[in-house]
Every structure is written in C-alpha cells, then in structure tokens.
Amino acid sequence: MISGLSHLTFIVRDLERTSDFLRTVFAAEEVYASGDDTFSLSREKYFLIAGQWVCIMEGNSLPERTYNHVAFAIPDEEFENYEARVRAAGVDIRPSRPRIEEEGRSLYFYDYDNHLFELHAGTLEARLDRYTRRR
C-alpha cells in the first residue's frame, strides 16, 4: 500500500544556483550535500520544503518548457509575500490561466532548468465544490 509521496527529484545544471533558488522561494532547508561523493547518478543535494523531501541532482536541463508542474500549497494571505520571493529569485513567471474565484490564486514560475512550479492558495475540496455547483 502506498503511504504517501516519498520525494521529488529535479535535474539541474548548477546545484548552488538552484540551492539559492529553493532557499529564496520555498525557505527550503538543506539537509544533505554529496560533495564529490556520488551514491546515485551524480552530485546531489537534499532539501526539506514544508516537510517534503526534494532532491536536486547535477545534469542537463530540460530541453523545453511544458505545463507539467509541481504545486505547493500556500495560505492566500501570504500570496503577495511569496510572489515577492519569486520575483527576488529573478525567474520567469508564467501568466496564470483563467480561473474562477473558488479555485484559489496561483503563481506559476520556471526555475533555471525549465521546471515549472506553482504556488497555489486553494484546496481540492473548494475547487470540486465549485465545479459541482457550476453544472
């Protein structure tokens, strides 16, 4: 039986630059750095973001941007604070898709290696409730 999500791994060109990005935007806590030791495919670092294990490994960036993404939940009252963090990181912000109010606000942005992230101030329950009432 699956008990939950174990970890997320992102392949990045520059471990230090991405480390700074994760700390700036997500307040990520670095818990491991392999240095020149490689127990996996390449040098890597582990972080905790809101208790979630996130791994970055050295390698080639994604060749193109897509809408595949990872969304992190944030409280709506902290939306502007997080938007300022993303802008401070100097990354590209993607325009949000059209939304109905009950979906909650979202901020989409790419890291330096074409990974798309979302900061979402909504819940699945609120979204499904609104979609059900729309019919």
Is 46 part of a structural domain of the chain?
yes
Nearest-CA neighbor of 47 among 55, 59, 58, 57? 55
pLDDT at 95: 87
Is residue 23 predicted with pLDDT exceeding 60?
yes
Is 22 part of a structural domain of the chain?
yes
**Mean pLDDT, residues 120-127:** 83
Is residue 55 predicted with pLDDT exceeding 80?
yes
Q: What is the pLDDT of residues 71-91, one digit of tens each?
A: 999 999 999 999 999 999 999
- CATH assignment of the domain containing 86: 3.10.180.10
Confidence of residue 134 (pLDDT cuts 50, 70, 90): low
Is 2 part of a structural domain of the chain?
no
- Among this protein's residues, is 44 annotated catalytic? yes
pLDDT at 33: 92
Is 1 part of a structural domain of the chain?
no
Q: pTM for the complete prediction?
A: 0.87
- Token pair for residue 69? 């993404």
**Mean pLDDT, residues 29-45:** 89
Number of domains in the chain: 1
Q: What is the pLDDT of residues 2-13, one digit of tens each?
A: 788 999 999 999
Confidence of residue 135 (pLDDT cuts 50, 70, 90): low
Is 28 part of a structural domain of the chain?
yes
**8 A C-beta contact, residue 49 and residue 28:** yes
Return phi, psi of residue 134, to 5°: -75, -25
**8 A C-beta contact, residue 71 and residue 117:** yes
From the candidates 44, 101, 102, 118, give the one annotated as an active-site residue: 44
Is 18 part of a structural domain of the chain?
yes
Single-letter amino acid code for the residue at 129: D
Is 129 part of a structural domain of the chain?
yes
| Domain range for 119 | 7-134
